[in-house]
Amino acid sequence: MHDGHRKRLTERFIKDDIDSFESHNILELILFFAIPRIDTNLIAHRLIKAFRTLSGVFDASFGDLEKIEGVGKSAATLIKLFPSVMRKYKEDKERDFAIIKDAEMAGNYLLPSFVGRNDEVVVLVCLDCKRKVLANLVIFEGSVNSAQISIRKIVEVALRFNSSSVIIAHNHPGGLALPSKEDVATTITVKKILEGVGIDLIDHIVVADGDFVSFADSGLLRE
């Protein structure tokens, strides 16, 4: 019975993609590849009940996923793989020949870098003299205010790519895209240090829940 259902759902995806799928159908299809010979429909419903939405399931931690009956390490790993792959896919689509002319372009370019991230990370975008992207890298895991080691890494990476200018970005998981006083103070320090080696910090983007705030647009780089 389960084999027939799996075959029908798989063929439905191959024919029509997932546009007509409900959230539990998508999870059910994903779980086919981690949980053989078990009715994954029930497990998919448990996941939706626990985390409310498909995105809530993808954003859940490994530990919380494994608490759901029927979800083991393999299934939790496969579920967590999807938002990470989505992030890399979107980054890859945007990376080639990207030119960042203003704060809106910077924010929209950087949003995919934070898809599915539950922890705070710092991203550095290195640009040439025409503002073409040379590199887009996660350079630090943790707060942008975690002091000198992150600042040193920013300078080292910017110099390695022979950058004319850079953009910093970090996220506030579960919070608001509002810079803190510490964010502002650290950014000004980074800006001054980069100026000392001939590199311009043109923006700092703070990301939260699919939204972003630009230091440049907010006038915070002049503080």
pLDDT in tens, 42-92: 999 999 999 999 999 999 999 999 999 999 999 999 999 998 898 888 777
At 171 the pLDDT is 92
The DSSP secondary-structure symbol of 144 reads T
Domain shared by 123 and 172, yes or no: yes
Domain shared by 116 and 217, yes or no: yes
We report the CATH number of the domain holding residue 210 as 3.40.140.10
Domain shared by 8 and 33, yes or no: yes
Among 51-55, 148-152, 183-187, which range has the highest average pLDDT? 51-55
> Contact at 8 Å (CB) between 46 and 70?
yes
CA dihedral 139→142→146→150, nearest 10 degrees, is: 0
Q: Phi, psi at residue 217, to the nearest 5°?
A: -65, -30
Domain shared by 83 and 101, yes or no: no
pLDDT in tens, 100-116: 999 999 999 999 889 88
Domain shared by 185 and 115, yes or no: yes
User: Per the structure block, which two tokens stand in for 221?
Assistant: 């780089």
Domain enclosing residue 124, as ranges: 96-222
**How far is residue 98's CA from residue 192's CA, in Å, rounded to a whole number?**
26
Number of domains in the chain: 2
Last residue of a domain, one of 89, 112, 142: 89
Q: What is the mean pLDDT of the chain?
A: 89
Last residue of a domain, one of 24, 55, 89: 89
pLDDT band of residue 214 (cuts 50, 70, 90) is: very high
**How far is residue 24's CA from residue 59's CA, in Å, rounded to a whole number?**
15
**How far is residue 153's CA from residue 166's CA, in Å, rounded to a whole number?**
13
**Confidence (pTM):** 0.69
